[in-house]
Structure 1
Amino acid sequence: MVLILGRRMNSGDSGIRDSPAVKRKVLEVESKTVSSQDILDFCSGSSHSDGILQVFNEFRDSRLFTDVVISVQGHEFHCHRAVLSACSSYFRAMFCNDHRESREMLVEINGILAEAMDSLLTFIYTGRAKITTENVQFLFEASCLFQINTLRDACAKFLEDQLDPCNCLGIQRFAEAHSLKQLASRCRSFALANFSEVAQHQEFLDLHCEELEDYISSEDLSVSKEEVVFEAVMRWVYHSVDHRRSTLKALLLHVRMPLLHPNYFVQTVEQDLIIQTAQECYQILHEARRYHVLGNEMMSPRTRPRRSTGYSEVIVVVGGCERLGGFNLPYTECHDPVTGEWKSLAKLPEFTKSEYAVCALRNDILVSGGRINSRDVWMYNSQLNLWLKVAPLVKGRWRHKMCVLLGKVYTVGGYDGQSRLSSAECYDSFSNRWTEVAPMKEAVSSPAVASCAGKLYVIGGGPDDNTCSDKVQCYDPEKNQWMLRANIPIAKRCITAVSLNNLIYVCGGLTKSIFCYDPAEDYWMNVAQTFNKLESCGMSVCNGKIFILGGRGENGESLDTILCYDPATGISHGTSTMPRPISYHGCVTIHRYNDKYFKP
């Protein structure tokens, strides 16, 4: 540390008289350790920069120290190059590089409004901008041009706050044109959530066909009933019917016509003049008619309810055993694969029986037979959450299978305590009666059964206690005849099958393989693997995917695993687990209402 110290000399110290001025001497003094109390880190806060900006704005208003004039639409704005460059990388590049504008006093800018330039300069010099519904668009475009991101983001936030059913589609187009992904996504979500209101405004009628398809095909579309979607599509078509008539089929493919109320379908849809003359739409209408008769036996993307209606596809697990030789369980539980939730339904009556057969008829569930030699048949009414006893089987049996084909229930095969059965029965729910049909070519128990393309397929099974069959027996209800098709690659019993997209999928039999059969080509292929070797598992199609639930492993113990296989991608993955390990249970898919998802 260097200090300058002063002292007065003593006159007696020397004979020479010093000047009366104080002599100055430089001394080196030992410094002490500097502590935090010896330093003041002072900051005036934002008031300092705000004050400087205010002064620069005053300079701009009085044209003091301005060194450039910006000309827009004939209006001249006197500015400071340094201030513009500090706020905008656009101006920084213009003035700091060797561009012509860096040497000229007058710079003309085209492509924006003078009003936008005035608001932009006000923001640059004050940090404030008045954003309104009238100026937000050109102010946003100006802030994008001059790369002033804070103002651009403020405009985007303002647009998001202004979202309304009457403007969300227009704002979405604006956002997409300027690559505002977040705003565009927010607009789309808003339109999907408020579709019924959005469809009443002019912007909706101005949509392109592809844009409308994107909305009505979305699983996130929120409507209280499918009639809203149909009416929106028809309103869009009728707005310019000569030009849009040709798009009707492409749009109706995304309307879930089978889920329209049957009365509405007959009185409104089939009476529409455009639809009556649109031959290309006949197949779509036919699918809806078949669904109204056959129910959930008809499966397609258009038969899956939108969750916003309160309905969803759920898998119902009926009964089963926790372990080998254990008691049959009385539980009936439904599982929503989307949420992973489980919910208890009415318990299965006479649950002491085991090895019965389960299938879904329309949106109800049938349980038939069971050990030992039972003829009983129970129907679960999904609307009332109630089990009702219906007409009994002609012949008592267990280890048999049931399947729905063209609106009727078929019971095939099984065991009567003495021998395997080849007999088959058909149930008509309208007459509440079982009748025998032609017997199978080979008597089997514990086969896999599925209906596909208008025929019934009985796959594999056990002809006796010691052997397994690899035969595929096909029943034609029109001819009341059985025929043999291509054998399954492995001979197994205790296997399960489902049908999806005109193909049959089979698993179980203590193998890891999932086999697929194409009835049209009469051809088998191995398409996927399960995580464990299992048998007597549950299998059901839900939301266009195949779910394999529980089953019994190699060690004889039941499993609580759930495997999801997506035929579209060929990918299998585990999902949530079951409430308890279980095997020898029934699995079906129905539509179930849950007011928690309903959005009025």
Structure 2
Amino acid sequence: MVLILGRRLNREDLGVRDSPATKRKVFEMDPKSLTGHEFFDFSSGSSHAENILQIFNEFRDSRLFTDVIICVEGKEFPCHRAVLSACSSYFRAMFCNDHRESREMLVEINGILAEAMECFLQYVYTGKVKITTENVQYLFETSSLFQISVLRDACAKFLEEQLDPCNCLGIQRFADTHSLKTLFTKCKNFALQTFEDVSQHEEFLELDKDELIDYICSDELVIGKEEMVFEAVMRWVYRAVDLRRPLLHELLTHVRLPLLHPNYFVQTVEVDQLIQNSPECYQLLHEARRYHILGNEMMSPRTRPRRSTGYSEVIVVVGGCERVGGFNLPYTECYDPVTGEWKSLAKLPEFTKSEYAVCALRNDILVSGGRINSRDVWIYNSQLNIWIRVASLNKGRWRHKMAVLLGKVYVVGGYDGQNRLSSVECYDSFSNRWTEVAPLKEAVSSPAVTSCVGKLFVIGGGPDDNTCSDKVKPNYFRHIPIGLLDHVQNTFSRQVIT
């Protein structure tokens, strides 16, 4: 029986008369029951393609219908040109154009491993392959050669998941060689984040100079303290000291020597024989010594803390009053411009005073004098978050100003309750002592004071209750001798706080 589905036609329309040859059984359907779907699209889904590939793979294993043999490292792989060309544009170009290989039965391919070719063909004929730490590199290179981007990306993704302090530098170099920008960036960020561990492994000691500098110059380097960077650089240099000795100065320019702890600097850096025998490094050592004495007065790219250390330049607000004639406030707060956050610090002692002077010395804050006729001086220790009383002024004062010059603090002018003052005192934090120095040529209160080019400038101020000065008076104080800076290690432990 033959079933014909379709629209019924009148015999007259067809122009056909009944005859034994034209009589057929026709499956009739009521037009009222039709829903408008007169055909059905059938698909067996991806299983059809998988079954076909499976059969082709069986053909390959049994050498059935194979029409080309790929030879790699002397090992032969019977294949089907159609399958290879369908999967790889490399083979499509080889077999579909008028190349010699399109006519030859045996095609030899150099530059890859036989094991890699086996894995590659397994993927081509099954769509599956097992990527391991042992085969990922040559499988990546093979998929790159044959232009299988899906397999290539899978290998790169696998490498990302294998990042470890012992291998991230090697993977980074591999990524750079093959222009894998995403993998390269992830490797570098991983190494920056785990630099302390990375620097302990063999791959770190095999970096070339430019690769090492790229890490140690970065503000994003995550370290607990700068000493770790110095030690990593010295390990790298001592690994091949004869070849790398000439690179020491260039490398140390990227180590932030001024941020090393003074004791570590004296006991470890300055006594290192390689550094002592490198005169070109002396200027870097001298810069670090100056910073240990002068603090933020001496600025260079090596005095900027790395972000991971948690140090940043902040604005500190000390004391004040809530309104005119109101209560004096004891609060000390700091503002971090990077995070936009305010943070409370230790409260200011003896906050009932007013019209005191404030200045920053290295990484600490000094508050001196204040109404009424106070000689007290307090220093805020930023590491301990406490206020400590230090040596008192020789003469009590308020409405005075303080400034730092060459590592020492100067108190200038002010008012003692009866007279404006011309006296100037100098504070040495290492000896914890205030010393009278050359006085102002004119007594003033509430001047502006700043240091510049080794001099202290006093601007304006009030010589009496009714007038304001328009004078600018530079004071020429005795500077710290350069020779003293060379022997600063003798003074690091002499600071006395009473």
Q: TM-score, normalised by structure 2?
A: 0.81
CA displacement at 1:111 relative to structure 2: 2.1
CA displacement at 1:315 relative to structure 2: 3.6
Q: Is the 8 A contact 2:380 2:386 kept in 1?
A: yes
Q: Is the 8 A contact 1:6 1:23 kept in 2?
A: no
Distance 1:301 1:449, change over 3 A: farther
Deviates more, 1:200-209 or 1:372-381: 372-381
Deviations 1:210-243 (A, max 9, x none): 2111211222223333332222212211222222
> Secondary structure at 2:476's aligned position in 1?
strand
Deviations 1:521-575 (A, max 9, x none): xxxxxxxxxxxxxxxxxxxxxxxxxxxxxxxxxxxxxxxxxxxxxxxxxxxxxxx
Deviates more, 1:143-152 or 1:338-347: 338-347
> Secondary structure at 2:64's aligned position in 1?
coil
Given the alignment of the two structures, is residue 221 of structure 1 paired with residue 221 of structure 2, yes or no? yes
CA displacement at 1:194 relative to structure 2: 2.7
State the AA in 2 paired with 1:469: D
Distance 1:18 1:111, change over 3 A: closer
CA displacement at 1:64 relative to structure 2: 3.0
Q: Which residue of 1 aligns with 2:242?
A: 242
Q: Which residue of 2 aligns with 1:259?
A: 259
Q: Is the 8 A contact 2:457 2:472 kept in 1?
A: no
1:311-322 correspondence to structure 2 within 5 Å: 311-320=311-320
Distance 1:327 1:119, change over 3 A: same
State the AA in 2 paired with 1:241: V
Given the alignment of the two structures, is residue 477 of structure 1 paired with residue 478 of structure 2, yes or no? yes
Residues in 1 aligned to 2:123 and 2:335: alpha-carbon distance in whole angstroms = 57
CA displacement at 1:196 relative to structure 2: 2.9
Residues in 2 aligned to 1:472 and 1:85: alpha-carbon distance in whole angstroms = 87
Q: Which residue of 2 aligns with 1:502?
A: none
Q: Which residue of 2 aligns with 1:498?
A: none
Deviations 1:387-426 (A, max 9, x none): 2334443444444321222332111244567776543221
State the AA in 1 paired with 2:222: S
Residues in 1 aligned to 2:53 and 2:462: alpha-carbon distance in whole angstroms = 90
> Secondary structure at 1:366's aligned position in 2?
strand
Given the alignment of the two structures, is residue 3 of structure 1 paired with residue 1 of structure 2, yes or no? no
Q: Is the 8 A contact 1:4 1:26 kept in 2?
A: no
Q: Which residue of 2 aligns with 1:186?
A: 186
Distance 1:412 1:118, change over 3 A: same
Residues in 1 aligned to 2:426 and 2:449: alpha-carbon distance in whole angstroms = 14
Q: Is the 8 A contact 1:3 1:29 kept in 2?
A: no
1:314-393 correspondence to structure 2 within 5 Å: 314-320=314-320, 328-371=328-371, 374-393=374-393
Q: Is the 8 A contact 1:6 1:24 kept in 2?
A: no
Residues in 1 aligned to 2:461 and 2:148: alpha-carbon distance in whole angstroms = 73
Residues in 2 aligned to 1:394 and 1:344: alpha-carbon distance in whole angstroms = 32
> Secondary structure at 2:329's aligned position in 1?
coil
Distance 1:387 1:267, change over 3 A: closer
Q: Which residue of 1 aligns with 2:494?
A: none
CA displacement at 1:283 relative to structure 2: 1.8
Deviates more, 1:365-374 or 1:128-137: 365-374
Residues in 2 aligned to 1:39 and 1:397: alpha-carbon distance in whole angstroms = 104
Q: Is the 8 A contact 1:440 1:473 kept in 2?
A: no
Deviations 1:171-228 (A, max 9, x none): 2111111111122222222222332332233322221112111211222223333332
Q: Which residue of 2 aligns with 1:63?
A: 63
State the AA in 2 paired with 1:150: V
- The higher-RCO structure (CA 8 Å, 6+ apart) is 1
1:12-27 correspondence to structure 2 within 5 Å: none
Given the alignment of the two structures, is residue 277 of structure 1 paired with residue 266 of structure 2, yes or no? no
Deviations 1:288-333 (A, max 9, x none): 3334444455443333444545555544322245667765433212
Q: Which residue of 1 aligns with 2:125?
A: 125
> Secondary structure at 1:388's aligned position in 2?
strand
Q: Is the 8 A contact 2:460 2:468 kept in 1?
A: no
Q: Is the 8 A contact 2:69 2:77 kept in 1?
A: yes
Q: Is the 8 A contact 2:450 2:456 kept in 1?
A: yes
Residues in 1 aligned to 2:213 and 2:22: alpha-carbon distance in whole angstroms = 99
Distance 1:91 1:391, change over 3 A: same
Residues in 1 aligned to 2:96 and 2:445: alpha-carbon distance in whole angstroms = 87
> Secondary structure at 1:166's aligned position in 2?
coil
1:26-37 correspondence to structure 2 within 5 Å: 34=35
Q: Which residue of 1 aligns with 2:401?
A: 401
State the AA in 1 paired with 2:474: Q
Distance 1:193 1:367, change over 3 A: same
Q: Which residue of 1 aligns with 2:209?
A: 209
1:479-498 correspondence to structure 2 within 5 Å: none
Which ranges of structure 1 fall in alignment gaps of 5 or more residues?
8-16, 480-600
> Secondary structure at 1:3's aligned position in 2?
coil
Residues in 2 aligned to 1:468 and 1:336: alpha-carbon distance in whole angstroms = 36
Deviates more, 1:72-81 or 1:308-317: 308-317
Residues in 2 aligned to 1:99 and 1:445: alpha-carbon distance in whole angstroms = 95
Identity %: 73
Residues in 2 aligned to 1:25 and 1:216: alpha-carbon distance in whole angstroms = 87
> Secondary structure at 1:207's aligned position in 2?
coil
CA displacement at 1:24 relative to structure 2: 6.8
Q: Which residue of 2 aligns with 1:290?
A: 290
Distance 1:433 1:68, change over 3 A: same
State the AA in 1 paired with 2:170: G
Q: Which residue of 1 aligns with 2:54?
A: 54
State the AA in 2 paired with 1:134: E
Residues in 2 aligned to 1:422 and 1:379: alpha-carbon distance in whole angstroms = 24
Residues in 2 aligned to 1:225 and 1:18: alpha-carbon distance in whole angstroms = 105
1:405-416 correspondence to structure 2 within 5 Å: 405-414=405-414
CA displacement at 1:278 relative to structure 2: 1.0
CA displacement at 1:447 relative to structure 2: 4.7
Q: Which residue of 2 aligns with 1:144?
A: 144
Q: Which residue of 2 aligns with 1:424?
A: 424
Distance 1:111 1:432, change over 3 A: closer
Residues in 1 aligned to 2:100 and 2:43: alpha-carbon distance in whole angstroms = 40
State the AA in 1 paired with 2:449: V
> Secondary structure at 1:476's aligned position in 2?
coil
Query: Which is richer in strand?
Result: 1
Residues in 1 aligned to 2:164 and 2:205: alpha-carbon distance in whole angstroms = 16
Deviations 1:62-120 (A, max 9, x none): 33333333333333333233322332222233334454444544433322222222211
CA displacement at 1:21 relative to structure 2: 8.5
Residues in 2 aligned to 1:468 and 1:28: alpha-carbon distance in whole angstroms = 114
Residues in 2 aligned to 1:409 and 1:421: alpha-carbon distance in whole angstroms = 17
> Secondary structure at 1:365's aligned position in 2?
strand
Q: Is the 8 A contact 1:6 1:25 kept in 2?
A: no
> Secondary structure at 2:388's aligned position in 1?
strand
Which ranges of structure 2 fall in alignment gaps of 5 or more residues?
12-17, 481-498
CA displacement at 1:341 relative to structure 2: 3.2
Residues in 1 aligned to 2:422 and 2:266: alpha-carbon distance in whole angstroms = 43
Q: Which residue of 2 aligns with 1:570?
A: none
Deviates more, 1:214-223 or 1:144-153: 214-223
Residues in 2 aligned to 1:418 and 1:301: alpha-carbon distance in whole angstroms = 48
Residues in 1 aligned to 2:431 and 2:241: alpha-carbon distance in whole angstroms = 47
Distance 1:18 1:197, change over 3 A: closer
> Secondary structure at 1:317's aligned position in 2?
strand
